[in-house]
Amino acid sequence: MAVTVPTRYAADRLWTPQGWVSDAVLAIDDGGMLADIGTGEGERLGRWVLPGMPNLHSHAFQRAMAGLAERKGKSDDSFWTWRETMYAFAATVGPDELQAIAAQLYMEMVKSGYTQVCEFHYLHHQPDGTPYAQPEAMSLALIEAAREAGIALTLLPVLYMSGGFDGRPLAPRQRRFGHDVPGYLRLLESLRKHESERVRVGIALHSLRAVPEEALQAVLADNAAKACPIHIHIAEQIGEVQDCLATRGARPVEWLFDHAAVDARWTLIHATHLSDKETVQIARSGAVAGLCPTTEANLGDGLFPLASFIDAGGTLGIGSDSHISVSPVEELRWLEYGQRLATRHRNIAARRQDDSVGETLWKAALRGGAVASGLPIGELRAKARADLLVLDDRAPLLAARDERSVIDSFLFAGNTPLVRDVVVGGEWIVRGFTHRDEDRIAARYRSVMQRLAQQH
């Protein structure tokens, strides 16, 4: 029997949670996993090599409507008025359109440094709520789009049952999102047949307002829920907190902790409006706070209590959510900048003297994104998936930078793209800033967008 010899790549500087390692050689096996990190000879990668970043929250179809909700409406604009624009756009997207949009988005993600995406997916049915002939058609479109783009996928089909905390039925524009619990569990079972080294299936509960308590408990009692990621939107808007208090007698995060065993399986998306007690509860539970700073800013959500959460030992990750920006650099930059604007101080994420803000945020987002994805990623070590980024060591923005300053410069020194090459699961996806299938994916996306524009 032939023995496969791992492919070997040499990095001048390799970033690990413990710091930079010099002259490291990565041995990648034929399954795309890191077999070993040592010394010796190998194909040179570059001067600065980082782990790929997980994107823990995505609504892929919304990439195609970015920029279409930026005109003043008749009333005070808010998340709730933006949502109406989103509903109207969602009604135009079928499986073919979704695949084209998601492939373009996922290509953009990989080029920016994301190597894994958690897709919070609720466009299940046809616009009138009728199931497709193949009930999982929209989910399969996302799986195929991820394959085309070369990104790894944690697919999170969403349970969405009611139109508010009062349990009212879904409005006509929401019907394509809906499942009952048996139908949702059948969808999960069907999609798990498509799991692979690059595809993981988890659970998404849209929100407490969209999932009644009995349904939440029924899904959590399913055996699959005990071993897979669980994601939920929570406490994103003040109105949501007020409605939860009025109908359930508790704040959203408070209610969730009283009714579910929240632990490291859970990712709480946004969690923007927290009491001090809730902040500590999330941190101590091991649950991930899924932060999406560019979308939260675009929608006027508010600011997460970052300093208190870090001080309590909390785990956080980042997502691009509505994709008005597709860049881990911008998410982390604005996570920090929002705190600076609110406190009128600098270097908020770095809690100890001489700590690097950039390294603190990059390390935290890698760890939280890996937990949220439910996979051995986010770190370049033996038995982890070989997802890595090579920065452009010829870029003027990185000139004369050393190990103390390179990640801070990557995140805070400008807007020139610095991710030159990307490997996902041991496979080259981006080389020299160019995606392996960029022209075809972009051409199809343009064609689909022109067709959708004619429907409005």
By annotation, the residues acting in catalysis are 270, 321
CA dist 373 → 56, 82, 177, 318 (Å): 7, 28, 23, 12
Contact between 264 and 371 (Cβ < 8 Å): yes
Phi-psi domain of 298 (left: phi exceeds 0; alpha: psi -120 through 50; beta: other) = alpha
How far is residue 402's CA from residue 388's CA, in Å, rounded to a whole number?
A: 20
How far is residue 62's CA from residue 101's CA, in Å, rounded to a whole number?
A: 9
The 3-state DSSP class for residue 145 equals helix
Return the closest-CA partner of residue 218 out of 243, 244, 185, 267: 185
Contact between 159 and 204 (Cβ < 8 Å): yes
Tell the residue number behind the tokens 């080294």, with chain if given: 197
Give the tokens for residue 236: 């994103």
The 3-state DSSP class for residue 154 equals strand
CA dist 414 → 154, 395, 418 (Å): 31, 11, 10
How far is residue 175's CA from residue 285's CA, in Å, rounded to a whole number?
A: 34
Tell the residue number behind the tokens 């770095």, with chain if given: 350
